[in-house]
């Protein structure tokens, strides 16, 4: 496993991959989402639940964009997926907006939620899922999650279903391991490029579950100044 990198270091690697190496942000998001979907499918196979439904709860940033890619790749494997978007689709930008439009054209099930969260409808959409995917808040988020994320986090934790966190559990500070009042308790976390320091603190480890690191295709040379 690579050495831990802070959220700032990871963002700088992403920036250099795009600005200096000419990589597309869409390619990096595709690699992240496809790798996470492959991992989740393997975990579902291990539980003999490879064909059970999955609910993917997405925010409006790039973490949500990763969730849109995951939905597409799980659907390709024959899994019944639904996307629960905690934002107005008109607020999506960049690569996340592009991947959302692909989902719409593919006619995958999408439910839109806003603040305050409709708890009854949200719970109903989670019902029957074998796994929940947390693609709400990424490394760029800070402070306490606000509505509708705060309520969604609490309802997902209370659902009694395994949770697969994308990059980090929403609400967890991945650098310090400090959880917010509303933080996802993940069964498994699929983080990208390298683990984050906060995952190895006692508090962080209690929220991340089993940790997996996925490569997203950034050149290894970009890690040279940071990792041996």
Q: How confident is the model at residue 48 (pLDDT cuts 50, 70, 90)?
A: confident
Single pTM value for the model: 0.96
pLDDT, averaged across the chain: 95
SS (H, E, C) 38-77: HHHHHHHHHCCCCCCCEEEEECCCHHHHHHHHHHHHHHHC
Closest CA to 225 of 17, 21, 11, 13: 13
Confidence check: pLDDT of 2 > 80: no
Is 149 exposed, middle or buried (CB count within 10 Å of its CB: 0-12, 13-18, 19+)?
A: buried
184-188, 211-215, 219-223: the lowest-pLDDT one: 219-223
- Is the backbone of residue 142 left (phi > 0), alpha (psi -120 to 50) or beta? beta
pLDDT per residue over 9-42, tens digit each? Answer: 999 999 999 999 999 999 999 999 999 999 999 9
pLDDT per residue over 89-140, tens digit each? Answer: 999 999 999 999 999 999 999 999 999 999 999 999 999 999 999 999 998 8
């Amino acid at each position: 496993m690579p050495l831990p990198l802070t959220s700032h270091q990871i963002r700088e690697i992403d920036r250099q991959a795009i600005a200096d190496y000419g990589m597309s942000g869409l390619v990096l998001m595709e690699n992240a989402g496809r790798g996470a979907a492959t991992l989740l499918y393997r975990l579902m196979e291990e539980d003999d639940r490879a064909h059970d439904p999955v609910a993917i709860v997405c925010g409006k940033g790039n973490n949500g964009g990763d969730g849109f890619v995951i939905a597409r790749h799980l659907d390709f494997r024959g899994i019944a997926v639904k996307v629960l978007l905690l934002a107005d689709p008109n607020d999506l930008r960049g690569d996340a907006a592009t991947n959302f439009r692909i989902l719409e054209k593919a006619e995958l099930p999408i439910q839109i939620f806003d603040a305050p969260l409709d708890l009854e409808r949200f719970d109903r959409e989670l019902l029957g899922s074998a796994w929940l995917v947390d693609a709400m808040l990424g490394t760029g988020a800070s402070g306490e999650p606000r509505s509708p994320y705060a309520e969604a986090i609490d309802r997902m934790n209370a659902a009694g279903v395994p949770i697969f966190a994308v990059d980090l559990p929403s609400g967890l500070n991945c650098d310090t391991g400090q959880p917010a009042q509303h933080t996802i308790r993940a069964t498994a976390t699929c983080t990208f490029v390298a683990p984050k320091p906060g995952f190895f603190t006692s508090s962080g480890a209690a929220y991340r579950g089993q940790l997996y690191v996925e490569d997203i295709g950034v050149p290894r040379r970009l890690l040279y100044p940071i990792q041996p």
